[in-house]
Amino acid sequence: MPGDGIGPEIMAQGKKVLEVIGKKFGHQFDTTEALIGGVAIDETGVPLPDETVKACKESDAVLLGAVGGPKWDTIDPSIRPEKGLLGIRKELSLFANLRPAALFPQLKDACFLRPDIVEKGIDVMVVRELTGGIYFGEPRGTKTENGERMGYNTMIYYEHEVKRIAKVAFEAARKRDKRLCSVDKANVLDVSRVWREIVTEVAADYPDVELSHMYVDNAAMQLVRDPSQFDVIVTGNLFGDILSDEAAVITGSIGMLPSASLGESNPGLYEPIHGSAPDIAGQDKANPLATILSIAMMLRYSFNLTEEAECIEVAVEKTLSQGLRTGDIMDEGGTLVGCTEMGAAVLQNI
Ligand code: NAD
């Protein structure tokens, strides 16, 4: 689903990467294209047509560019492009959001942290629970009590919700450095105490993964003080929303960061974390690397093709080492290239 803005441009490069990986490793990937977001509104009147949902459910994995743009900012909020995104996540019951925030050594000057901190490296993966917690808990609402306005939400986690997100996180840690930090607020919140208890129980099935616990306020601080201490972080919807953005922004390169959203049996959804960048759309200026790295995640998590995923990641690193830079990651001494040229270089390096 290329979507809007720079979506079609970055997706075109991504598809070429998938083809070349197929040729190199002897796989055939069958791809179908579907409408989502603004383009879907223009063509069908809704941001998530039924045919799109059907095509996604019939696939083994779903790749998304980005949705949205000024053209659709003023239309009826109930059919805004973003509704397509929320809709497909819901249709596929994607309860786990995996966001790696890695700093490529070649881009260390873009990082917002002190050089001595950057030197130790940043390679954190935040696993965020996506369909539960305070964003969905009932009761919720606003009312007037004793002449005063008030608002309230409820943070709820059921055992099955914590178990399944914990499993995803332990599995992810197994594919990485085998260290998992569960983040909660168990010193204050009852729901967090249950969360901590259940995560600790799930750990028994993963003796090869080292589990630690941290309060969310401390985790927010530790992420900027010394991110190298983290491998995988697992946390609830609210804390994960904040921490995953924090982890992403410290790397300083939004055009580089991929993500995956996973469910139990449905296909996973893979997408760059950035938006449709309408300011540079159609100008061959977009950085395709977040999309290309999302394909690496897709190969790793949906197809279990670890070697193929690593091949893409190494090719991206090599391309950066060769000094190639799109505008968003341009630095002194870099060679400015467009989306197509960046994609072509990655293909060459694969
Ligand atoms: P954005 O991520 O689209 O852009 C923010 C800035 O980063 C812009 O200057 C843009 O040019 C730059 N940028 C983003 N991706 C880039 C890339 N790959 N290469 C080079 N530069 C890149 O965020 P925004 O401007 O807040 O939102 C624009 C539109 O995208 C809005 O309609 C918003 O709703 C939508 N959006 C969609 C998603 C999604 O589809 N997942 C996520 C965020 C925002």
Digit-coded pLDDT (tens) for 205-241: 999 999 999 999 999 999 999 999 999 999 999 999 9
Index of the ligand 1 atom closest to the CA of residue 290? 18
Q: For the chain, give the percent of residues with pLDDT over 90.
A: 89
pLDDT (average), residues 243-255:
88
Q: What is the domain count for the chain?
A: 2
* pLDDT at residue 70, as a whole number: 96
Same domain, 63 and 160: no
**165: domain range?**
112-250
Sorted by sequence, the CB contacts under 8 Å of residue 16 that are 6+ apart come out as 343, 347
Locate the ligand 1 atom nearest the alpha carbon of residue 72 and give its number. 32
Q: Coil, helix or strand for 244?
A: helix
For helices 159-174 and 190-203, what crossing angle results, to 10°? 50
Q: 59 alpha carbon to ligand 1 midpoint, in Å?
A: 26
C-alpha 275 to ligand 1 mean position (Å)? 3
Indicate the pLDDT class of residue 252, thresholds 50, 70 and 90.
confident
Whether the predicted pLDDT of 5 surpasses 90: yes
Q: What is the pLDDT of residue 266?
A: 85
Q: How far is the CA of 277 from the centre of ligand 1 (A)?
A: 4
Encoded amino acid at 7, one letter? G
Strands of the sheet containing 61-63, edge to edge, are 61-63, 268-272, 258-262, 96-102, 123-129, 232-235, 179-184, 210-215
Query: Which pLDDT score, from 0 to 100, does residue 253 have?
Result: 83
- Identify whether residues 238 and 153 lie together within a single domain: yes
pLDDT for the residue numbered 109: 85
Answer yes or no: do 149 and 195 share one domain: yes
Note whether residue 239 is domain-resident: yes
User: Last residue of a domain, which of 201, 218, 250?
Assistant: 250
Backbone φ and ψ for 65, nearest 5 degrees, come out as -80, -90
Q: Is the pLDDT of residue 265 over 90?
A: no
- Pocket of ligand 1, beta carbon within 6 A: 6, 66-69, 82, 85, 254-255, 271, 274-280, 286-287, 290, 326, 328
What spacing in Å lies between the alpha carbon of 100 and ligand 1's midpoint? 18
Look at residue 105 and tell me if it is in a domain. no
Residues 230 and 297 in one domain: no
| Residues 52 and 164 grouped into a single domain | no
CATH number at residue 48: 3.40.718.10
Tell me: do 72 and 193 sit in the same domain.
Answer: no
Identify whether residues 229 and 126 lie together within a single domain. yes
User: 74 and 200: one domain?
Assistant: no
In a domain, 101, yes or no: no
Q: Do 332 and 274 share a domain, yes or no? A: yes
What's the mean pLDDT in 303-320? 97
* Ligand 1 atom nearest 64 alpha carbon: 40
Specify the range with the lowest mean pLDDT, choosing from 58-72, 162-176, 243-257, 286-300: 243-257
For residue range 89-131, what is the model confidence (pLDDT) as tens digits? 889 999 999 999 999 999 988 888 999 999 999 999 999 999 9
Residue 184 lies in a domain: yes
- Reported pTM: 0.92
- For residue 146, is pLDDT > 90? yes
Q: Are residues 168 and 233 in the same domain?
A: yes
Question: Which residue has the least CA distance to atom 8 on ligand 1?
Answer: 277
Instruction: Pick the residue whose CA is nearest to atom 26 on ligand 1.
Output: 275
Catalytic residue set: 135, 185, 217, 241, 245
Best mutation site among 35, 274, 279, 324 for ligand 1 pocket (most ligand atoms within 8 Å of CB): 274
On whether residue 99 sits in a domain, the answer given is: no
Once rounded to an integer, what is the mean pLDDT over residues 133-137?
Answer: 92
**Residue-level pLDDT at 198:** 98
So what's the pLDDT on residue 189?
98
pLDDT at 173: 97
Domain endpoint, select from 221, 250, 279: 250
Higher pLDDT, 195 or 78: 195
d(CA 287, CA 310): 20
**pLDDT the model gives residue 65:** 98
Do 172 and 228 sit in the same domain of this protein?
yes
Instruction: Record the tokens describing residue 248, joined without a space.
Output: 């992403």
